[in-house]
C-alpha cells in the first residue's frame, strides 16, 4: 500500500484523465499486488503512463529544475570561468 509520503507534491496522477487526490490514490493502491505497487512507485519517481488492473494512470512530474548527483539544483547553463578569458 502506498502512503502519503510516497506521493510527492510535484507529482500529479490522473486516472483516465481525471486528477486524483492523495487519499484516493492510497485507497486505490490497497488493491494493488506487490509487483503492481513496485511498478507504480517507480513510475511516480520518473513519470509516464502505465496500466494497472485495466486502468490507465498518467503520472506527470512538475519538476522543472535539474538536480545533480548530490541532489542539489543546478543551473541550466555552465558559468564561464574568468581565467579562460585572460
Please give the Cα distance from 71 to 25 (Å, whole number): 27
Mean pLDDT on 78-82: 69
- State whether residue 80 is helix, strand or coil: coil
Is residue 64 pLDDT above 70, yes or no? no
Residue 73 per-residue DSSP state: B
pLDDT digits 0-9 by tens, 34-55: 999 999 999 999 999 999 999 9
Mean pLDDT on 61-74: 75
Beta strands 11-15 and 18-19 are antiparallel
Predicted local confidence at residue 84, as pLDDT: 66
Domain map of the chain by residue range? 4-63
Please give the Cα distance from 4 to 25 (Å, whole number): 9
pLDDT digits 0-9 by tens, 6-28: 888 889 999 999 999 999 999 99
Structural contact between residues 50 and 57, judged by C-beta atoms closer than 8 angstroms: yes
Amino acid at each position: 500500500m502506498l502512503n502519503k509520503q510516497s506521493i510527492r507534491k510535484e507529482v500529479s496522477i490522473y486516472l483516465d484523465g481525471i486528477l486524483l487526490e492523495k487519499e484516493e490514490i492510497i485507497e486505490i493502491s490497497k488493491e494493488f499486488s506487490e509487483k503492481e505497487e513496485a511498478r507504480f512507485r517507480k513510475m511516480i519517481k520518473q513519470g509516464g503512463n502505465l496500466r494497472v488492473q485495466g486502468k490507465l494512470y498518467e503520472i506527470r512530474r512538475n519538476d522543472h529544475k535539474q538536480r545533480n548527483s548530490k541532489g542539489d539544483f543546478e543551473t541550466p547553463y555552465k558559468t564561464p570561468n574568468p581565467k579562460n578569458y585572460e
